[in-house]
Structure 1
Amino acid sequence: MKTSSRILKYTLEKDVQWTNYCVSLLSKYSFFKSLKINCKFLEISCDGIAWLITWTAFIWIMNSKALLQMQVNMLVGLILDIVVVAVIKSFVRRRRPVAIKDTLVIGPDKFSFPSGHASRAFYVLIFFTKLYSLNFVFLMPLTAWAVSVALSRLILQRHYILDIFAGAIIGVLEARFLEFIWISETFAINIAGLVSGSEEI
């Protein structure tokens, strides 16, 4: 037990050191200094509540049987991501590198491990490249967005490196799990009907 505790302590200390080193290194370059402004937009673009509300509105506005299966599966994955990250954060309770002063944070989101933004970004990336493949022209921008979101968490000092890597892995596993439980078109229509109170969509 003592050995495992020492290993964990050593790993966390190294994580803090490497994170501080990377942040210090990036801050020396004007490109990354200016990127901080874009990092705020990246942060908003991958916010969990924003995704949940926007995606639910997307389902409601489109009202399309052709898209419904994809939309419902995506929504299930987004809910799963929020729950998984919140549960892990509640158990681990690792403090963030720097306290967030410019954003209202409550509950598990006060904690750092794992990065919910990284998990969500990589879940979305795998979803639209493996589970519901978009045209290849969207592959590079989507990949660049996911990687940029993960990198922005480091630049803004919202997370440590280990938090970001763990988040990315969780996002990939969530997408693979969703692939395993993929909701059928008929079931998706039934779910949408129950939510909307309508028999048809």
Structure 2
Amino acid sequence: MSLVVAVDHWSFPSGHSSRVFFVASFLFLVGGAGDGVVAAVFVWAAATAASRVLMGRHFVMDVVAGAGLGAVEGVITHRFLKF
């Protein structure tokens, strides 16, 4: 853990979780990829979110809020771009 350096002291919400869940939810809503790809992206998103907590970089609520924010951004982007 000594290789991990703190960038800032404020970690709410988790930016990593927000980005990966944005990609996952947008891909799910677009439906352009196969079901296996969408499932793999959601597994990737969950693994990224879990790793942030396990590495001690975020609290659980930071990650949950980031995931929720990313999902909302995915829905808004999907509706805005009118896919």
Give TM class, smaller chain.
0.7 to 0.9
**Percent identity between the aligned chains?**
30
Give the aligned length: 82
- Give the direction of change, closer, same or farther, for the CA distance of 1:115–1:144 in structure 2 (3 Å limit): same
Tell me the distance in 2 between the aligned counterparts of 1:112 and 1:101.
18
Q: Rg: which structure is higher?
A: 1
The two structures have a TM-score, normalised by structure 2, of 0.84
Which residue does the alignment assign to 1:167?
A: 66
1:34-73 per-position Cα deviation (integer Å, ceiling 9, x unaligned): xx9xxxxxxxxxxxxxxxxxxxxxxxxxxxxxxxxxxxxx
Measured in 2, the distance between the counterparts of 1:156 and 1:183 equals: 38
Q: Which runs of 5+ in 1 are unaligned?
A: 1-35, 37-99, 185-201
Q: Mind listing any 5+ residue stretches in structure 2 that lack a counterpart?
A: none
Structure with higher RCO (Cα < 8 A, 6+ apart): 2
Query: Where does residue 102 of structure 1 map in the other structure?
Result: 4
Cα distance in 1 for residues equivalent to 2:43 and 2:16:
14
TM-score, normalised via structure 1 length: 0.37
Within the candidate set 101, 117, 141, 2:40 is matched to 141
CA deviation profile, 1:19-38 (whole Å, cap 9, x unmatched)? xxxxxxxxxxxxxxxxx9xx
Give the drift of 1:103: 4.0
Provide the residue aligned with 2:29 in structure 1: 130
